[in-house]
Amino acid sequence: MKKFLFLFILISFSNIGYSQIDITQDTIDLKSTHKFRNNIIDDIISDFVHRENFRNWKNRSKKMIVISSQKNSDDVFIIKVFPKIRENYSIHHLEDNYKAYINNKDYLIVFYGAIDSFLERKNNEILKLFPEKKIVKPDTDDSEIKMIVIDQPEIFGAEYLVKGNQIQLTEIRYFGSIE
């Protein structure tokens, strides 16, 4: 009995401070780190999810949206929105340097970049959501030339221009990265 109690205490203490969640599973208990400060991002998401271009994504059960916001001047932003699914093959290239996430009943929204104009911080802890990236080692061919395989997927999404409170869809296309 003492061994069992010792093992239980050891396992309990080893898990303290570990802040990671497996988003490929259920995210019902994941608490949002932020809330919307205004309607801009909510309006962009509404426009995005109602577009026919993303109908295949809408049919998935484990939906996720990645939003990258770049500030060009005081009131001008470029917002890129990417439909993702919460599967390992779809999220392996995403990094844990995001600024916020909002979890709602339909999808998880993860935010990168300049978010302060659109989101307000809650008191919830920011958890690590994505698995660690694989380290790619160079391959050596027959002539001993080292080659690094570049594994950067093209990401399909939409880009919006926000000036003040005005939102304009600028394009729907493939993007080389989420930055």
Give the number of other CB atoms < 10 A from CB of residue 79: 24
Taking the C-alpha atoms of residue 36 and residue 100, their distance in angstroms, rounded to an integer, is 11
Nearest in space to 21 (alpha carbons), one of 13, 11, 12, 31: 31
The answer to whether the CB of 170 falls within 8 A of the CB of 163 is: no
Q: Facing residues of 76 across strands? A: 73, 163
pLDDT of residue 133: 67
Is 45 contained in some domain? Answer: yes
State the total domains in the chain. Answer: 1
Name the phi and psi angles at 56, rounded to 5: -65, -40
Taking the C-alpha atoms of residue 101 and residue 154, their distance in angstroms, rounded to an integer, is 22
Is 24 contained in some domain? Answer: no
Taking the C-alpha atoms of residue 123 and residue 143, their distance in angstroms, rounded to an integer, is 56
pLDDT of residue 31: 92
pLDDT of residue 131: 76
First to last CA, the chain: 54
Is 145 contained in some domain? Answer: no
Is 47 contained in some domain? Answer: yes
Is 26 contained in some domain? Answer: no
Cα distances (angstroms) measured from residue 100 to each of 7, 103, 122: 36, 10, 10
Is 85 contained in some domain? Answer: yes
Is 102 contained in some domain? Answer: yes
Is 160 contained in some domain? Answer: yes
pLDDT of residue 153: 55
pLDDT of residue 149: 54
The answer to whether the CB of 64 falls within 8 A of the CB of 91 is: yes
Instruction: Give me the domain span that covers residue 89.
Output: 31-132+153-175
Please, what are the averages of pLDDT over each run of 10 residues along the chain (179 residues)?
47 45 79 94 94 87 92 91 87 86 92 93 88 65 60 74 94 67
